[in-house]
């Protein structure tokens, strides 16, 4: 069984990006810049934002974290985004989810210029993904990270049956669109299952490649997986664990102990897909910098 080490691959990617960032700085005197807006004091969001900012600094990018109160109006938030859209030192903009109830998520997504939408959520980027214009868009970072794992581990996907459990706009849908592309390492036959799918295990047991992104701890068990399948666990769930200092432990959507015994390859949680999401955010930010400075 192959353990797919996303942490190690993400470090490789960050090292490669650092070399590019330094080369562009010598050549142009400029560095790529990412601005992250965080609203309120959600502890999980704060951890994610800190990790993103830290990773930016590690590879020499400019990082800016804009902390705004949970009471902020939508008009004020959109004004802040517009200022970043027009700031030439800001190449990527990210608004950390979740947002307060008075904020319309879609309005925020539309407000970010597509060329600075390094999360890949703007309809223009999603549309280009759907029609296969991958060289002209930004791809949502988590699915992008999964594809990069397939590439670097040389996992064969062409002609395989890929079953995706989950249909979110952030993971499930873009993952399906990517796996259907007529490119390597994609070009798979894709089935998408979700909360309204009856007898999900009937589908998951057919999967050569099973991608779990349903947000339910240990949902995928060994009985639901075909022997020899490649299993990608996108889930990050917290369970109570009094043996841990924090009182919590992280688990995925896949029951790792059982499934790892029959899978040919599997990602762990933590240390699998999670680190890749940040690595691909940095990749998208550098790509945005290149495009905005006519360097690619």
Q: What residues are labeled active site?
A: 52, 96, 119
178's tokens: 């990517």
Is the Cα torsion angle 186, 190, 196, 201 positive or negative in sign?
negative
Sequence-ordered list of residues with C-beta below 8 angstroms from that of 1, at least 6 positions apart, any chain: 260, 261, 263, 264, 265, 266
Length of the chain: 296
Judging by DSSP bridges, how do beta strands 209-212 and 161-165 pair with one another?
parallel
Sheet holding 62-68, edge to edge: 62-68, 33-39, 92-95
Judging by DSSP bridges, how do beta strands 237-240 and 248-251 pair with one another?
antiparallel
Q: Residue ranges of the alpha helices (H) in the chain? A: 6-28, 43-58, 74-85, 105-111, 123-130, 141-152, 172-179, 200-204, 256-259, 273-292
Q: Rounded to the nearest 5°, which phi and psi values hold at 112?
A: -80, 130
- In the numeric block, the tokens 């309005």 are attached to 107
Is the bond leading into 118 cis (omega within 30 degrees of zero)?
Answer: no
- Reference 159, options 134, 179, 130, 145; nearest CA is 179
């Amino acid at each position: 069984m192959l353990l797919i080490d996303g942490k190690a691959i993400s470090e490789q990617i960050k090292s490669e990006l650092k070399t590019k960032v330094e080369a562009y700085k010598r050549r142009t005197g400029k560095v790529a810049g990412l601005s992250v807006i965080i609203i309120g004091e959600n502890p999980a969001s704060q951890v994610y934002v800190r990790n993103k900012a830290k990773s930016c600094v590690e590879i020499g990018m400019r990082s800016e974290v804009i902390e705004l109160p949970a009471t902020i109006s939508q008009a004020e938030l959109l004004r802040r985004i517009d200022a970043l859209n027009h700031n030439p030192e800001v190449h990527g903009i990210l608004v950390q989810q979740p947002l307060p109830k008075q904020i319309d998520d879609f309005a925020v997504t539309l407000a970010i210029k597509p060329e600075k939408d390094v999360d890949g959520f703007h309809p223009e980027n999603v549309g280009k993904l759907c029609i296969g214009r991958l060289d002209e868009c930004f791809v949502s970072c988590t699915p992008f990270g999964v594809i990069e794992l397939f590439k670097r581990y040389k996992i064969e996907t062409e002609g395989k049956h890929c079953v995706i459990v989950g249909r979110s706009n952030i993971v499930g849908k873009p993952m399906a669109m990517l796996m259907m592309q007529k490119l390597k390492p994609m070009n798979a036959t894709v089935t998408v299952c979700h909360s309204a799918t009856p007898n999900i295990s009937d589908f998951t047991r057919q999967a050569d490649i099973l991608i779990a992104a349903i947000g339910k701890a240990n949902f995928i068990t060994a009985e639901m997986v075909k022997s020899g399948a490649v299993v990608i666990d996108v889930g990050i769930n917290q369970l109570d664990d009094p043996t841990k200092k924090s009182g919590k432990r992280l688990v995925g959507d896949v029951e790792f102990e059982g499934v790892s015994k029959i899978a040919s390859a599997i990602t762990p949680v933590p240390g699998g897909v999670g680190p890749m999401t940040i690595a691909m955010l940095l990749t998208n930010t550098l790509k945005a910098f290149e495009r905005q400075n006519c360097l690619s």
